[in-house]
Homo-oligomer: A and B are copies of this chain.
Amino acid sequence: MNHDQVKLPKGFILTGVVAGIARKKGKRDVGMIYTPQPCVAAAMFTTNQVKAAPVLLSQRHIAKGLVQAVVVNSGNANACTGKAGINTAWESAKMVAAGLQVKPEQVIVASTGVIGVPLPFAKLKNGILQAIEKIKLPSAIRHPLTDFSQSIMTTDTVPKIVSVNVNIGGTKAVITGVAKGSGMIHPNMATMLVFIMTDAAVEKDFLHKALKDSVEPTFNMLTVDGDTSTNDMVMVLASGQAGNKMVTGKSRESKIFSQKLLQVCRELTIMIARDGEGATKLVEVEVSGARDFAAAKQVAMSIAKSSLVKTAIFGNDPNWGRIIAAVGYSGENINPERVDITLVSGARKIQMCRNGIDPGFSEAQAKQLLHNKELKLLINLKQGSASATVYTCDFTHGYIDINASYRT
């Protein structure tokens, strides 16, 4: 992965402040993005039928196509909060609009945190006012990415930021993405909270298509705990300040832009999996030799969601029997007697299963390899040529600790 230096694209002002909504004292919990010029915007949202108030509001706003501000809070999801929750989301959009002199319909609202508890509007209001103050000061841009990325964290242990350069017909542009996500991660056509910013000029329909194409093989291939959130949202904002000729679906530059957007999404996905609640290891499950992509994805997800596979990885146990069991109950029609399973870390490979049985591998060596922090499981079904990779993590005491005491 060729990380470029983390930086903000032109045309974006960010900040993050402490409003006292999050339980942890002194944690930044209200973040804001302001773009002096309206941005072309595209977004995807959770497919959970239980949708948080800010998701319902932002879906309507994004449909209008232009966005000039984003306000996001952590510590409270504003989900299952009824009409009061919808009012809170709308009032905060109006407040941001008034403070930054933009249209309320061009403000996107996002929340993450506890579900079912009213969002304390007085605290949010205070946070919004602070953020607007900071946005207007030159000092607001001193650590904008850091402050903003911290403001959206909940059980995350590290901020997640990716920045890449993209050369569009000779013009240099930047794509920068910021994500939060650690638990309740099993996106389905959308995910967590992800804000991607670019100063490239991009045509709206193409931007939406490029985002959709990037989300399918990245955030939609990610699972920490199999729970799809009520607040998932991934959004891309294009300010056009780089000065390139507008990228459309027909321009030669559409390919490079799509590639770079995909790269940002993939790197954020991997960061989220690595920082899964309680995780000690990043695990990529790659299923190949499938009849089609859907089949490969279903088998890979079945493995990546298996508590037994994930606890074995935590325990450094090369228990491939649990992997093939998850292949067998995936719902896809497979032939157990053709299945190969290989454990990979770095340059080392150990085949643990060949044609459905143990080829006589060294358990001691596999156990050793499992101590590494980045692992791949390669499963070959030998039924076709399609493949899919799902990103996940191990399942540990840390997950139980975090989630048995999340609100207490």
- In the complex, the answer to whether A80 meets B357 with C-beta atoms within 8 Å is yes
- In the complex, the answer to whether A225 meets B324 with C-beta atoms within 8 Å is no
* A183-194 interface code vs B (CB 8 A; 1 in, 0 out): 110101000000
Cα(A334)–Cα(B47), bound, Å: 13
Given A225-B307, A227-B322, A314-B404, 4 extra CB contacts under 8 A? A116-B357, A227-B329, A307-B399, A315-B406
- In the complex, the answer to whether A225 meets B308 with C-beta atoms within 8 Å is yes
Which A residues fall within an 8 A CB radius of B? Answer: 47-51, 77, 79-82, 114-118, 183-184, 186, 188, 225-230, 305-308, 311-312, 314-317, 319-322, 324-329, 333-334, 336-337, 353, 355-358, 395-397, 399-401, 403-408
- In the complex, the answer to whether A308 meets B403 with C-beta atoms within 8 Å is yes
- In the complex, the answer to whether A227 meets B116 with C-beta atoms within 8 Å is no
Residue numbers in B under 8 Å from A317 (CB-CB): 404-408
User: A80 is contacted by which of B114, B316, B324, B404 (Cβ under 8 Å)?
Assistant: B324
Q: Label chain A's interface by main secondary structure.
A: loop
- In the complex, the answer to whether B80 meets A312 with C-beta atoms within 8 Å is no
Cα(A110)–Cα(B49), bound, Å: 43
Q: How far is the CB of A378 from chain B (nearest CB, A)?
A: 17
Q: How far is the CB of A205 from chain B (nearest CB, A)?
A: 29
User: A319 is contacted by which of B81, B320, B407 (Cβ under 8 Å)?
Assistant: B407
Can you sample 12 A-B contacts with CB below 8 Å? A50-B327, A79-B325, A116-B357, A184-B325, A226-B305, A311-B403, A311-B404, A312-B403, A312-B404, A312-B406, A314-B400, A397-B397
- In the complex, the answer to whether A115 meets B80 with C-beta atoms within 8 Å is no
- In the complex, the answer to whether B49 meets A334 with C-beta atoms within 8 Å is yes
Of chain B, the residue at the smallest CB distance from A188 is B329
Q: How far is the CB of A408 from chain B (nearest CB, A)?
A: 6
Residue numbers in B under 8 Å from A308 (CB-CB): 183-184, 225, 227, 403
- In the complex, the answer to whether B404 meets A325 with C-beta atoms within 8 Å is no
Q: Across chains A and B, which 7 residue pairs bring their CB atoms closest together, nearest first?
A: A115-B321, A315-B404, A50-B328, A311-B403, A116-B321, A228-B329, A82-B357
Residue numbers in B under 8 Å from A357 (CB-CB): 80-82, 116
